[in-house]
Structure 1
């Protein structure tokens, strides 16, 4: 009996590709998620494995006539045309929560790096500027104890951020679509209200058309001169030009980005912006979190091909 065909929209770890190859005929990875980039034999693909930031639009769906499943590595699924998927009877799955601890850990690392100027301190030493007999070699900055952390998005990542921030003795508030009854953290009725309150704003919300570029010039101004913004969600949530301008003009104190709107391309203006820390979308990428997400994708594929209910369908769909 021949193996069912699975198409990879992007590259994945060697571990994951080997596990897939053991069970399926694997095509890809595609150089880009578009109909003109489909490999030979893709018309037979029954499942597409992809990630949230890649486009799975109507044209791609219709170029895959046998497609029955789109399985997302990670929580996000903003790249798919849900209407087209529904019309073609596709099952769509994701892997929620598996990377939440990893992302929360990394986000707190970015908070520390930005607020305590860790990268700047490293450069300070390497460039030979640590001289003299002063008690403080670099200017003192506010610490995290007592600082106000605003969490935009209070899902699995947001909740883990709150628990980690509590250990730093921070004040914590959040904004999400609805207030949560099972947390002592303060709820703010809007993102703007959260930014006005916060010293540090962490973006950890799922991206969709309603929050495109929601972190704009106005919101950054509300965050204020001493504010920091950290994004571990999706690049589309932040207006990159507005952020670069805010940093260039000193409208905010600093920022850290793990995600970008058109990955892996990073605008030159961001590359040259002061007080900005950049990382290549690796908040999720601890070994344990990556393996757990891969295993969830495998479980969704296995259930689909066994004609069982998939464990992680996108809801609502």
Structure 2
């Protein structure tokens, strides 16, 4: 039996010698994203039990010949990471965003990059609307009150601070695929949509505001759907929040650092804005605990992409991108 096991191991090693090496760069369990039959076409390397630089130091022979990386959005691919992988030709991210990837360095090195495309757009839009309804109608706060045996009829629950969504003016920051999906859903509630984006979109009739402050001034709600970069970091600051006003609500399903979080907390606690629905946070995976005691805030653990359907879809997509690249075919969802 021992000889048979040794033969099996040798057979697997010989087979792997002829397969492209794919490094998994993500949390424990992330390797499950690459499923059969795609996983059987590559030599999979998983460093989740070690920081990447330590893995590279102890497995230099592997890292020197890694052809592709499959990464999670919470695991940065910086210039330092790229230097550890001199043979890298492809980076596939399972994230909708690319702020964790040094795209400029990838271009310089000739590394192709594939993303999640529009895989998560509908789910993230659903969550954005869900968060908004929850904040406005205080569903989570009411649930907590009832569970704590606080009766609504006793007026201990603040019914006067509940708002309806119908007819509200909603400003969307970033009118890409997710932003458009949010807009379409909110139109069904009779909401009046306007937006801010890098440029005016010719294919929509929604009013366009070139300034986020101006957008906030003219709306009851801001929904953040834009990318995080040097220009958008902390774009939602105190000036924007005060422009939104005391009854205003902010929903963020994009990236946490779009909001100056300390200023958001101050405005929420001082009731300078009405509330917030947050799926993302400035220092993920850490969440500022001061949010926990606020009934005008609804929190979600970066779960906009977590439906079963999206998980199955991204498993297929990352495998198809890897397969296409190593078959000399066009990437399915190219970024670079």
TM-score, length-normalised on structure 2? 0.86
1:227 is matched with which residue: 234, 248, 254? 248
Taking the aligned partners of 1:30 and 1:210, their CA distance within structure 2 comes to 32
- Distance change (3 Å), C-alpha of 1:61 and 1:301: same
Q: CA RMSD in A?
A: 2.2
CA contact (8 A) 1:33 1:56 kept: no
Query: Match for residue 83 of structure 1?
Result: 104
C-alpha displacement of 1:140: 5.0
SS of the equivalent of 2:243 reads helix
Which protein is richer in helix relative to its size?
2
What stretches of structure 2 of length at least 5 have no aligned partner? Answer: 1-14
Taking the aligned partners of 1:17 and 1:275, their CA distance within structure 2 comes to 40
SS of the equivalent of 1:303 reads helix
Larger radius of gyration: 2
Query: Match for residue 199 of structure 2?
Result: 178
Correspondences of 1:119-130 after superposition (within 5 Å)? 119-130=140-151
Query: Match for residue 6 of structure 1?
Result: 22
1:196 is matched with which residue: 205, 217, 230? 217
TM-score, length-normalised on structure 1? 0.91
Query: Match for residue 30 of structure 1?
Result: 48
- Distance change (3 Å), C-alpha of 1:257 and 1:33: farther
Taking the aligned partners of 1:105 and 1:212, their CA distance within structure 2 comes to 24
What stretches of structure 1 move > 4 A for 4+ residues in a row?
A: 12-15, 31-34, 131-134
What stretches of structure 1 of length at least 5 have no aligned partner? Answer: none
- Distance change (3 Å), C-alpha of 1:131 and 1:263: closer
2:39 is matched with which residue: 21, 28, 50? 21
C-alpha displacement of 1:210: 1.0
Taking the aligned partners of 1:223 and 1:59, their CA distance within structure 2 comes to 41
1:268 is matched with which residue: 289, 293, 305? 289
1:97 aligns with 2:118: yes
Report how many residues are paired.
314
* Stretch moving more, 9-18 or 192-201: 9-18
- Distance change (3 Å), C-alpha of 1:33 and 1:148: farther
Taking the aligned partners of 1:102 and 1:303, their CA distance within structure 2 comes to 26
